Chain A
């Protein structure tokens, strides 16, 4: 029975989740690109500080310098968390093997020990991020439910994956742990385009979008006045 569910999770459910994740993110990127193009062509001033936008974007994609000067503990933990979160699922040998078997795709894998090290750092940093969010009154107060949920949810595939590679330490059978691993991974894939995790695809454009936001359409103010029926009214 467990084998049946495993096959289902590895096969159709994964394909469905992955496809929805990719299509959802593609939709978001296309909507964003379309919105940006419309905003650019409507802008009264089309000169953008591309050099500044580029520099700031790179700073935030590799936020070592920017990260350390403000909330350094939170920032370092966050950087460590993201490194494992991005690298392990993509470059784990076992995952690449599945891609090769299923789709004939192959790319280089990271060494097993590195993968295990990054898995552990991701789990620990997720716990620390959760605690830091609860502990800091500023972040606790502004957080919604999903902010507290995400670090804990992301631990599940990493912890279950760790137990899968160390079955002797696992509290459950290998297949049961593997099923948890795959289903939790699939669930996260489904949630990515629907939640703030879509920042994984939007962050590279955020500096550009924010700068473009200040480049108002030439007639925007007058058109708003007309729509609200206030044109020509005294102040």
Chain B
């Protein structure tokens, strides 16, 4: 039995750092900053938005099912890292899901309406909406609890829906909205507002770095028409994850891949997955436009869990322009190259103990689990696993976009990240491989705030350390035929 956090630690983690007058003025006491939340009549507008979403989506199907089958067995509680840290019944996934299930029952079913008339239930209140706004952003939408629900309730899907409805009444963390605004409407067209010349400068700098480190001229092709792969990294990699990008470029160089970065759209991040299908749709539909402009064949996503899942799973749903382009993760591509014997990795470079952290958006459905492990085992002398892992992994604690909300850091690193910190400590690993920009940022903060002695790296960071590059004058066909379909 893992000890719970004491009440003082929980209070510190949940401390609200916002100005009281702002909260008073907004009438909203959530811990994250919100730009312009609707004031007054929230319940009515929430229900209108809920009704519109139900009308045009398939969420009604799952709510009809969950209204009838929610068993309240609390099995989900013991798989939730939040509940395991706090022991607070409000952190039980089923408690959180009940916000929407009960609102649906009360306002959108005949039985709920009749019961309300008989017993005088006032229905959804502004107070409940405030509680939802807090609860849905405590959850990281990691969906580990889904594996434990005998009734098959997808609590992550309900968090997704809850945030979607809240966004329609103006309740979304400012950090997410500001990033999306720049990505969809801004000049730079990316969530970190990196000017295009700065991105190109970064790439040139990285080319020099690679040549210095590996003695090979490796290119970051920009706007190259007709390339096979159009590359989308989480844009923060251009500022913070130089080694990840160097590793990716080195692998692509080594296998002779034809790839390019597009200057009109090079950011793989899609915060729509975290708070709004409308935003997800808009951001995704920028991808095929760039594919078309540069006449590329495939979309290649860098090291990022949510970007990979969003493009792989939802581009097929929302793509407006005919057939959606095929989406490949860089991890799949590198794995296929390794299996095809196209990568030379020096087994004597990485001697420290290495552990792999599964990003939820890659592992929960079993998509990318074994591939990175096979790569790491191919050259890491001391590779270990944390328990549980793979599909049953614990979230880093910063999933669901919460890692971008700086004001939630104390919560993320002490409550949401507690389980992960314990897992890392148990392995004794010096190098923690997390092939996801979100996970990397969160895990670094977890390591710092919990005083752990380990370094957080990307998968391709380690590959970059070990890869032996050769000059590649005659590009061969990318060994993608070995990538299995999902």
Q: Which residues of B contact A210 (CB under 8 A)?
A: 62, 65, 146, 152-154, 157
- Least CB separation from A39: chain B residue: B58
B64 near A35 with CB under 8 A, answer yes
When the two chains form the complex, which single residue of A47, A71, A140 contacts B78, counting CB atoms closer than 8 Å? A71
Instruction: Give chain A nearest CB distance to B275 CB in angstroms.
Output: 11
* A-B CB contacts (within 8 Å), total count: 181
Taken residue by residue from 265 to 291, chain B's Cβ proximity to chain A (1 for < 8 Å, 0 otherwise) reads as 000000000001111111000000000
Instruction: Give chain B nearest CB distance to A69 CB in angstroms.
Output: 9
Tell me whether B1 is interfacial, beta carbon within 8 Å.
no
CA distance A63 to B111 in the complex (A): 32
Q: Which residues of A contact B92 (CB under 8 A)?
A: 138, 141-142
Tell me whether B2 is interfacial, beta carbon within 8 Å.
no
For window 176-195 of B, CB contacts with A under 8 Å fall at 177, 180-181, 184-185
A228 near B168 with CB under 8 A, answer yes
Q: Which residues of B contact A194 (CB under 8 A)?
A: 111
Taken residue by residue from 133 to 151, chain B's Cβ proximity to chain A (1 for < 8 Å, 0 otherwise) reads as 0000000000000101011
Taken residue by residue from 53 to 74, chain B's Cβ proximity to chain A (1 for < 8 Å, 0 otherwise) reads as 1011111111011001111111
Number of chain B interface residues as a range: 35 or more
A213 near B153 with CB under 8 A, answer no
CA distance A186 to B78 in the complex (A): 36
Taken residue by residue from 25 to 62, chain A's Cβ proximity to chain B (1 for < 8 Å, 0 otherwise) reads as 00010011001101100111101010010001100100
Q: Which residues of B contact A71 (CB under 8 A)?
A: 74-75, 78
Tell me whether B52 is interfacial, beta carbon within 8 Å.
yes
Tell me whether B475 is interfacial, beta carbon within 8 Å.
no
A31 near B83 with CB under 8 A, answer no
Taken residue by residue from 179 to 216, chain A's Cβ proximity to chain B (1 for < 8 Å, 0 otherwise) reads as 00000000000000010101100110111011011111
Knowing A210-B152, A210-B154, say if A202 contacts B281 (CB, 8 Å).
no
CA distance A28 to B69 in the complex (A): 11
- Least CB separation from B96: chain A residue: A142
A206 near B69 with CB under 8 A, answer yes
Q: Which residues of B contact A49 (CB under 8 A)?
A: 365, 486
Knowing A44-B317, A45-B313, A217-B57, say if A142 contacts B154 (CB, 8 Å).
no
- Least CB separation from A67: chain B residue: B150
B317 near A218 with CB under 8 A, answer yes
Knowing A52-B365, A142-B72, say if A32 contacts B79 (CB, 8 Å).
no
Q: Which residues of B contact A52 (CB under 8 A)?
A: 365-366
When the two chains form the complex, which single residue of B77, B87, B150 contacts A60, counting CB atoms closer than 8 Å? B150
Knowing A70-B148, A199-B151, say if A214 contacts B313 (CB, 8 Å).
yes
CA distance A170 to B128 in the complex (A): 50
A206 near B78 with CB under 8 A, answer no
Instruction: Give chain A nearest CB distance to B255 CB in angstroms.
Output: 28
Q: Which residues of A contact B366 (CB under 8 A)?
A: 52
A221 near B281 with CB under 8 A, answer yes
B61 near A36 with CB under 8 A, answer yes
CA distance A182 to B319 in the complex (A): 58
CA distance A139 to B78 in the complex (A): 11
Instruction: Give chain A nearest CB distance to B155 CB in angstroms.
Output: 10
CA distance A213 to B60 in the complex (A): 9
Taken residue by residue from 213 to 235, chain A's Cβ proximity to chain B (1 for < 8 Å, 0 otherwise) reads as 11111111111110110100011
Instruction: Give chain B nearest CB distance to A77 CB in angstroms.
Output: 11
Tell me whether A147 is interfacial, beta carbon within 8 Å.
yes
Q: Which residues of A contact B60 (CB under 8 A)?
A: 35
Tell me whether A65 is interfacial, beta carbon within 8 Å.
no
For window 249-277 of B, CB contacts with A under 8 Å fall at 276-277
Knowing A32-B64, A228-B48, say if A235 contacts B318 (CB, 8 Å).
no
Q: Which residues of A contact B177 (CB under 8 A)?
A: 235
Q: Which residues of B contact A222 (CB under 8 A)?
A: 278, 281
Tell me whether A78 is interfacial, beta carbon within 8 Å.
yes
CA distance A44 to B317 in the complex (A): 4
Instruction: Give chain B nearest CB distance to A128 CB in angstroms.
Output: 13
For window 66-116 of B, CB contacts with A under 8 Å fall at 68-75, 77-79, 83, 87, 89-90, 92, 94-95, 98, 111
Q: Which residues of A contact B61 (CB under 8 A)?
A: 32, 35-36, 38-39, 209, 212-213
Knowing A74-B73, A142-B74, A235-B184, say if A209 contacts B83 (CB, 8 Å).
no
Taken residue by residue from 303 to 345, chain B's Cβ proximity to chain A (1 for < 8 Å, 0 otherwise) reads as 0000000000110111100000000000000000000000000
Given contacts A32-B65, A141-B95, 8 further A-B contacts (CB under 8 A): A139-B77, A144-B72, A202-B68, A210-B62, A210-B154, A216-B277, A218-B317, A224-B277
